[in-house]
């Protein structure tokens, strides 16, 4: 027990352990915030650490589905200012769960430290628990992340286009030019869309969406409390027509969300319901909204942030009601892909470990979970750490499910910093094998919850910021293919490596297009062979 302090409650060694010979048993707690702690005299400013431990609940409170535990660090700086960092959390742990991993990655603020203290808190008074295999170790920053990302992009986001060219006798090959142009990217780069602004606001907002994004999601318009503020008074027509308009512009759609298990987002007319009435009402919500979007949306976020809200489970006293909701959604539309969607899992790491466990639980339950939505609202004025992002993505990738970045934004007034931060994030995400798509949570300062601090474009003219220019350079220049080959130098057989997407190939001879040799095709993970015959 060296190094542990247990003020106002009891700690002792126990043989109930995860590894080794003993573990720490915590008992006699009379407040939720009471938990064992340790001083951390060795924390270095600006260093990144991985902190982990295994925790086991020894008892439960009748009528409750589990307890919440949190790992925190309190830091006092030499100027006597203080900060409290909530590092890791795990919801709904019960005694039957055995040992669970409470883990996180964090970066120490860049200020001189006087004292630092790590401590556990969270289970209600009277709960006894065990802590074992606790560690805090510095992480070596990955200085090769950019190279590794670029290598993956080159090898997996692109494929070979093989050209075989024949020509009539007498053709001057030095006058033959073959232009290979990617018209549309396959990888989803999308944005949240404010329906009111899209339908009735600045047309430049609409135009920007149509021109620069290939996926979209209505930011709020499909949420239950907004689409049906009074029972039976739902307006489905407006969001459905908006989705149809976006699809007509070639934009695929995610749908967000069927329910949200935080009380303030549950419709007021639902909140007094209980038992079978509540269950039937929720089921009807699934039937109504999923049937109306069938064939129009590719994804549904089923129960938003269900690591952080348990309203329906608590009201119905049904720990596995989330499984039922996924089953209902699949029954209504077997083709739509169903997602979990949560925060604190990639941009921060407080909930990464329980999110992995939740994903594995849903897979085991066989309730048609397709993928993991990771929101990625980054902390204000804090640069994203590519090492941490990769570590968190690698952890979630253990679930063996596709990962979608669903709500990306950063926050800083400095548009050049914003550009750097977005580029770092996008390179990590596009360069990770499990990431299947990236959605910004808005892009215009006049339709963004972070205003100009997260925006790619600003003002009534929807003017690109440095961040917007950087992002579009990635989307539309660096990660798109546009190549030209002269037949005299390329030869009759040559290969171009191109990003996945839709292509057009044009052949010109002496400056004139040979129209019957124009080719269109889609390049995917398999290579493509294009045959061209040059004639007068």
Distances (CA, A) of 22 to 25, 55, 73, 122, 421: 9, 13, 24, 23, 44
Tell the residue number behind the tokens 């700690």, with chain if given: 11
Work out whether the CA dihedral 210, 211, 212, 214 comes out positive or negative: positive
Task: Tell me whether residue 407 is one of the annotated catalytic residues.
Answer: yes
Q: Rounded distance, CA 25 to CA 10, Å?
A: 8
Q: How far apart are CA 411 and CA 465, in angstroms?
A: 14
Catalytic, out of 103, 228, 407, 415: 407
Choose among 159, 257, 180, 254: nearest CA to 524.
Answer: 159
Whole-number Cα distances in Å, 372 to 156, 403, 457: 21, 5, 28
> Which residues, 6 or more positions from 57, have their beta carbon under 8 angstroms from its beta carbon?
66, 67, 93, 94, 95, 97, 123, 127, 128, 129
- Please return the burial class of 340, using the count of CB atoms within 10 Å of its CB with bins 0-12, 13-18 and 19+: buried
Whole-number Å distance between alpha carbons of 19 and 341: 33
Beta strands in 110-251 (DSSP E): 113-121, 129-138, 158-167, 176-185, 189-193, 215-218
User: Burial, 92: exposed, middle or buried (Cβ in 10 Å; 0-12, 13-18, 19+)?
Assistant: middle
The CA distance from 383 to 417, in Å, is 8
Instruction: Give the C-alpha separation, 326 to 79, whole Å.
Output: 51
Q: Are 11 and 4 in contact (CB under 8 A)?
A: yes
Select from 427, 459, 430 the least CA-distant residue to 446. 459
Contact (Cβ atoms closer than 8 angstroms) between residue 64 and residue 32: no
Please return the burial class of 236, using the count of CB atoms within 10 Å of its CB with bins 0-12, 13-18 and 19+.
Answer: middle
What distance in Å separates the CA atoms of residue 401 and residue 244, rounded to the nearest whole number?
29
Distance CA 266, CA 360 (A): 27
Phi-psi region of 37 (alpha: psi -120 to 50; beta: other; left: phi over 0): beta
Cis peptide before 257 (omega within 30 of 0): yes
Question: Exposed, middle or buried by CB within 10 Å (0-12, 13-18, 19+), for 183?
Answer: exposed
- How long a stretch of residues is the chain? 536
For the four alpha carbons of 392, 393, 399 and 403, in that order, the dihedral sign comes to: positive
Which residues are tagged catalytic? 407
């Amino acid at each position: 027990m060296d190094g542990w302090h247990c003020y106002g409650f009891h700690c002792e060694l126990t043989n109930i352990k995860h590894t080794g010979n003993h573990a720490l048993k915590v008992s006699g707690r009379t407040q939720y915030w009471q938990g064992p702690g340790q001083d951390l005299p060795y924390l270095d400013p600006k260093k990144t650490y991985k902190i982990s431990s295994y925790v086991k609940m020894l008892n439960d409170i009748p009528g409750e589905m589990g307890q919440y535990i949190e790992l925190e660090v309190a830091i006092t700086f030499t100027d006597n200012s203080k900060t409290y960092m909530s590092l890791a959390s795990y919801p709904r742990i019960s005694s039957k769960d055995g040992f669970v991993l409470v883990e996180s990655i964090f970066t120490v603020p860049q200020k001189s430290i006087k004292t630092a203290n790590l401590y556990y808190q969270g289970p209600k008074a009277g709960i006894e628990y065990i802590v074992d295999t606790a560690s805090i170790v510095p992480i070596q920053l990955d200085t090769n992340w950019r190279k590794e990302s670029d290598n993956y992009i080159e090898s997996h986001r692109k494929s070979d286009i093989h050209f075989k060219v024949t020509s009539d006798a007498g053709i001057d090959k030095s006058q033959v030019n073959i232009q290979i142009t990617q018209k549309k990217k396959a990888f989803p780069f999308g944005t949240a869309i404010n329906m009111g602004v899209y339908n009735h606001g600045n047309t430049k907002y609409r135009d920007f969406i149509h021109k620069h994004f290939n996926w979209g999601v209505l930011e709020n318009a499909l949420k239950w409390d907004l689409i049906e503020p009074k029972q039976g008074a739902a307006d489905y027509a407006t969001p459905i027509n908006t989705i149809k308009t976006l699809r007509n512009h070639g934009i695929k759609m995610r749908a967000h969300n069927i329910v949200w298990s935080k009380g303030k987002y549950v419709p007021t007319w639902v909140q007094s319901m209980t038992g079978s009435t509540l269950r039937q009402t929720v089921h009807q919500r699934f039937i109504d909204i999923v049937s109306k979007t069938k064939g129009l949306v590719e994804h549904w976020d089923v129960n938003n942030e269900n690591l952080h809200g348990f309203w329906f489970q608590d009201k119905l006293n049904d720990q596995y009601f989330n499984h039922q909701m996924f089953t209902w959604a699949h029954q209504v539309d077997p083709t739509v892909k169903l997602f979990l969607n949560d925060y604190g899992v990639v941009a921060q790491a407080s909930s990464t470990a329980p999110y992995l466990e939740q994903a594995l639980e849903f897979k085991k339950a066989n309730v048609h979970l397709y993928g993991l939505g990771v929101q990625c609202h980054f902390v204000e004025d804090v640069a994203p750490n590519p090492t941490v992002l990769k570590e968190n993505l690698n952890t979630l990738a253990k679930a063996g499910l596709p990962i979608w970045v669903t709500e990306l934004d950063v926050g800083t007034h400095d548009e050049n910093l914003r550009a750097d931060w977005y580029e770092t994030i996008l390179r990590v995400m596009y360069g990770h094998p499990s990431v299947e798509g990236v959605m910004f949570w808005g892009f215009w300062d006049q339709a963004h919850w972070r205003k100009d601090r997260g925006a790619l474009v600003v003002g009534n003219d929807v003017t690109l910021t440095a961040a917007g220019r950087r992002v579009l350079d990635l989307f539309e220049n660096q990660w798109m293919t546009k190549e030209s080959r002269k037949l005299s130098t390329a030869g009759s057989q040559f290969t171009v490596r191109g990003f996945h997407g839709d292509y057009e190939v044009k052949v010109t001879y002496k400056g004139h297009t040979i129209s019957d040799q124009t080719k269109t095709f889609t390049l995917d993970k398999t290579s493509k062979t294009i045959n061209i015959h040059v004639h007068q």
